RNA sequence: GUGGAUGUAGUUCAGUCGGUUAGAACGUCGGAUUGUGGUUCCGAAGGUCGUGGGUUCGAAUCCCAUCUUCCACCCCA
């Protein structure tokens, strides 16, 4: 009966080592968010399904984890409904809550719900797990952490600029080289208008989003399958094969889309954004990518996606501007823009590139050897002193063999050992062993404080 | 949700055609060394062969189901 315990598919335990690395990622991201003036909020893991459903398209609705009502959840369901076995309908009768699917929709809900308390423009960040009932793969989990930054209540393109700047700042601090791809939903609308298929923008963008992956012929085949006319597809071809830098692409676009008000507006927005970015000292590359569409149907302006140049793992950060999201919750005319960092994928990238600095992940700076009852009070006075100096220290809890205590320090990468046995106590000193070099020296209690301040790392 | 691969000690992996007691390396633990780790030497422990059924005199090996992980779609961080 006692089978090994396990955790649900696509979820993970994080070891102490992994957590220290993850916290390094979260800390880096959080520091940068704060540096740019964003403030944290949190929202519940559970949302009402009415908040979540219909915001991510049909596909998204399928991937929502639904939570069974508590108590006698079938009490209101008739036998007739049960016998119909319509699981879609039935689930809406017996589930009224779901796990959040991303942080943007709960944020929109938060903004609408707290509109009277919020000072606009509202700059917030949010670092929390989200859940998707997706089939797991590498870099794809059912529970994963997103780190969102958004500013809501401002139309200014300075916000887009700021987000791209944050992206560059974070990834350069993490030493990940990236390419930030930028597009604009208005340009995509313009293109759809230009080829005479204005109403099919979603089908068109989803298809051309795959250009990189499946090639131009397959994209055209998919468009035809979706019912886009051959004439329109032919008209689209030159746009898909634009060459040159972002400026050149924009100029060519401007000619082609000269009759589309929306398209021209998108071009102007991208131009402005690139002119801001031109003044910044950026580490990573930024480019206009007309094939960047992204699935989410709420983007209305800028679309942003970040990829690692060294590891292929899908996007590690993505986002854009959404004018209508708060409108879904009854608050019109409030525009927002934001991006989301995928902490778990960033972890995978750092891991694969061997970029974690594991030298700083020891639990303690100093281990004090435990010799037994009669030496304990001496050891305790030493550890009190060290901790007062903000030096991470631990006393080995059991008086086991010295060999064992030293190998404990070794395997936990603790850099210093303090040995205080009968000899040291008699001479009012301690023996300090440097675990890296193997050297050891005697230091008197009087000098311990200055020795510690000089040689031991102080924890923040 | 569709299609395909995978699973053997804590870890990475061997395991012949279905045949006796399932092996190795690393790691762990003990000893050589009663106050000195990371090197060396000696020794030991550790397995329901993912799980459940089936075929067979006999199954890690063949068949079915199921779960996990991974891959390609779909979609996405």
The full 3-state SS of chain A, as one line of letters, equals: CCCCCCCCCCCCCCCHHHHHHHHHHHHHHHHHHHHCCCEECCCCCEEEHHHHCCCCHHHHHHCCCEEECCCCCCCCCCHHHHHHCCHHHHHHHHEEEEECCCCHHHHHHHHHHCCCCCCCCEEEEEEEEEECCCCCECCECCEEEEEEEEEECCCCHHHHHHHHHHHHHHHHHCCCCEEEEEEEHHHHHHHHHHCCCHHHHHHHHHHHCCHHHHHHHHHHHHHHHCCCCHHHHHHHHHHHCCCCCHHHHHHHHHHHCCCCHHHHHHHHHHHHHHHHHHCCCCCCEEEECCCCCCCCCCCCCEEEEEEECCCCCCCCEEEEEECCCHHHHCCCCCCEEEEEEEHHHHHHHHHHCCCCCHHHCCCCCEEECCCCHHHHHHHHHHHHHHHHCCCCEEECCCCCCHHHHHHHHHHCCCCEEEECCHHHHHCCEEEEEECCCCCEEEEEHHHHHHHHHHHCCCCC
Start-to-end Cα distance in chain A: 48
Q: What is the pLDDT of residue A215?
A: 78
Which nucleotide is the nearest neighbour of A434, by CA and C1'?
B37
Cis check: omega of the bond before A121, within 30 degrees of 0: yes
Quick: pLDDT tens for A245-267.
888 889 888 988 888 999 999 99
Asked if residue A84 keeps its beta carbon closer than 7 A to nucleic acid strand B, the reply is no
Q: Measured from the CB, is A138 under 7 Å from any atom of strand B?
A: yes
Whether nucleic acid strand B comes within 7 Å of the CB of A406, the answer is yes
Right CATH for A366-455 from 3.20.20.220, 3.40.50.2000, 3.40.50.800, 3.40.640.10: 3.40.50.800
pLDDT digits (tens, 9 = 90+) for A108-141: 999 999 999 999 999 999 999 999 999 988 888 9
Q: What confidence category does residue A1 fall into, taking pLDDT thresholds of 50, 70 and 90?
A: very low
pTM (predicted TM-score): 0.89
Query: What are the distances in angstroms from CA A154 to CA A39, A151, A157, A221, A323?
Result: 16, 7, 9, 40, 10
Q: What is the mean pLDDT of residues A335-357?
A: 90
How long is the CA A9 to C1' B67 vector, in angstroms? 9
Q: Is the CB of A6 under 7 A from strand B?
A: yes
Q: Is the pLDDT of residue A200 over 70?
A: yes
CA of A20 to C1' of B51 (A): 34
Q: Which residue is nearest to nucleotide B48 (CA to C1')?
A: A3
- A3 pLDDT more than 60: no
> Do the strands A302-308 and A429-434 form a parallel or antiparallel pair, or are they unpaired?
unpaired
ipTM above 0.90 for this complex: no
**Nucleotide minimizing C1' to CA distance for residue A437:** B38
The answer to whether residues A10 and A63 touch, using CB atoms and an 8 Å cutoff, is no
User: Contact A386/A452 with Cβ under 8 angstroms?
Assistant: yes
CA distances for A457 relative to A72, A159, A361, A414, angstroms = 58, 39, 12, 11
* Residue A357 falls in which region: left (phi positive, over 0), alpha (psi -120 to 50) or beta: beta
Closest-approach nucleotide to residue A409, Cα vs C1': B37
Strand B at less than 7 A from CB of A315: yes
Gap from A137 CA to B29 C1', Å: 37
For A395-405, write each residue's pLDDT tens digit.
999 888 999 99
- CATH ID of A16-46+104-352, from 3.30.930.10, 3.20.20.140, 1.10.3210.10, 3.40.630.30: 3.30.930.10
What are the domain boundaries of chain A?
Answer: 16-46+104-352, 47-99, 366-455
Distance in Å from B42's C1' to A4's CA comes to: 35
Confidence (pLDDT) at A392: 94
CA distance A58 to A88: 12
Q: Phi-psi bin for A225: left (phi > 0), alpha (psi -120 to 50), beta?
A: alpha
Protein CB footprint (7 Å) on chain B nucleotides: 1-3, 28-31, 33-38, 48, 51, 67-77
**A2 — pLDDT class (breaks 50, 70, 90):** very low
Cβ of A134 near strand B (distance < 7 A): yes
A 171-210 residues, CB < 7 A, strand B: 206, 210
C1' of nucleotide B37: residue with nearest CA: A407
A421 touches strand B (CB under 7 A): yes
| A431 contact to strand B (CB, 7 A limit) | yes
Residue A292 CB in 7 A reach of strand B:
no
Alpha-carbon dihedral angle through residues A76, A81, A86, A89, given to the nearest 10 degrees: -40
Average pLDDT over residues A91-119: 93
Residue A456, pLDDT score: 94
A451 CA → B9 C1’, Å: 47
- d(C-alpha A356, C-alpha A352), whole Å: 10
pLDDT attached to residue A58:
83
pLDDT (0 to 100) of residue A374 = 92
Q: What is the mean pLDDT of chain A?
A: 89
Distance, CA of A442 to C1' of B10, in Å: 39
Residue–nucleotide distance: A4 CA to B56 C1' (Å): 30
Phi-psi region of A78 (alpha: psi -120 to 50; beta: other; left: phi over 0): beta
Closest nucleotide C1' to the C-alpha of A134: B75
For strand A336-342 and strand A143-152, is the pairing parallel, antiparallel, or unpaired?
antiparallel
The CA distances from residue A168 to A76, A174, A340, in Å, are: 53, 10, 13
Query: What is the structure's pLDDT at A71?
Result: 85
pLDDT at A412 over 60: yes
Is the pLDDT at A384 greater than 90, yes or no?
A: yes
- Residues A28-63: tens digit of each pLDDT: 999 999 999 999 999 999 999 999 998 888 888 889
Tell me which residue of A362, A356, A443 sits closest to A409, measured CA to CA: A362
Do residues A368 and A418 lie in contact, with contact meaning Cβ atoms separated by under 8 Å? yes
pLDDT in tens, A81-90: 888 777 778 8
Parallel, antiparallel or unpaired: strands A122-131 and A39-40: parallel
In this prediction, residues A369-386 reach a mean pLDDT of 95
Round to whole Å and give the CA distance between A155 and A356. 38
Residue A171 predicted with pLDDT over 70: yes
Identify whether the C-beta of residue A390 lies closer than 8 Å to the C-beta of residue A400.
no
**Within a 10 A sphere around the Cβ of A365, how many other Cβ atoms?**
20
- pLDDT above 80 for A360: no
**Among residues of chain A, what percentage have pLDDT more than 90?**
56
How confident is the model over A60-71, as a mean pLDDT?
90
| A145 close to A125: Cβ distance less than 8 angstroms | no
């Amino acid at each position: 009966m006692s089978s090994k315990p396990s955790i649900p598919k696509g979820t993970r335990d994080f070891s102490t080592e992994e957590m220290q690395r993850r916290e390094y990622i979260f800390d880096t991201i959080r520091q940068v968010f704060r540096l740019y003036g964003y403030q944290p909020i949190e929202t519940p893991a559970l949302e009402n399904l009415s908040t979540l459903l219909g915001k991510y398209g049909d596909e998204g609705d399928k991937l929502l984890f639904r939570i069974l009502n508590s108590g006698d959840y079938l009490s209101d369901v008739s036998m007739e409904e049960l016998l119909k076995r319509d699981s879609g309908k039935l689930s809406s009768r017996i589930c009224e809550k779901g796990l959040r699917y991303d942080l943007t929709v709960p944020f929109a809900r938060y903004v609408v719900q707290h509109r009277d308390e919020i000072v606009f423009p509202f700059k917030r960040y949010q670092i929390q797990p989200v859940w998707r009932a997706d089939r797991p793969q590498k870099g794809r989990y059912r529970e994963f952490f997103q780190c969102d930054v958004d500013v809501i209540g401002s139309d200014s393109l300075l916000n887009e600029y700021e987000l791209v700047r944050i992206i560059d700042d974070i990834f350069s601090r993490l030493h990940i080289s990236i390419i930030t791809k930028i597009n604009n939903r208005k340009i995509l609308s313009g293109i759809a208008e230009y080829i005479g298929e204005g109403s099919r923008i979603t089908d068109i963008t989803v298809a051309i989003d795959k250009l990189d992956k499946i090639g131009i012929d397959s994209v055209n085949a998919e468009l035809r399958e979706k019912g886009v006319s051959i004439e329109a597809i032919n008209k689209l071809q030159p746009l898909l094969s634009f060459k040159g830098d972002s400026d050149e692409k924009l100029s060519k676009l401007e000619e082609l889309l000269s009759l589309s008000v929306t398209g021209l507006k998108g071009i102007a927005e991208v131009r402005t954004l690139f002119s801001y970015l031109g003044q910044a000292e950026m580490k990573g590359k930024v480019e206009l990518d007309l094939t960047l569409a992204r699935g989410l149907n709420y983007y209305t302006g800028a679309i942003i996606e970040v990829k690692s140049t060294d590891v292929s793992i899908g996007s590690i950060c993505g986002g854009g501007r959404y004018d209508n999201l708060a409108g879904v919750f009854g608050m019109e005319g409030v525009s927002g823009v934001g991006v989301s960092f995928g902490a778990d994928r960033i972890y995978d990238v750092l891991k694969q590139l061997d970029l974690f600095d594991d030298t700083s992940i020891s639990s303690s700076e100093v281990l004090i050897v435990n010799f037994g009852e009669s030496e304990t009070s001496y050891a305790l006075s030493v550890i009190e002193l060290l901790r007062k100096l903000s030096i991470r220290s631990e006393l080995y809890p059991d008086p086991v063999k010295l060999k064992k205590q030293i190998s404990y320090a070794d395997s936990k990468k603790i850099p210093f050992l303090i040995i205080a046995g009968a000899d040291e106590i008699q001479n009012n000193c301690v023996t300090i062993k440097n675990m890296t070099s193997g050297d050891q020296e005697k230091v008197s209690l009087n000098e311990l404080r200055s020795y510690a301040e000089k040689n031991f790392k102080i924890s923040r």
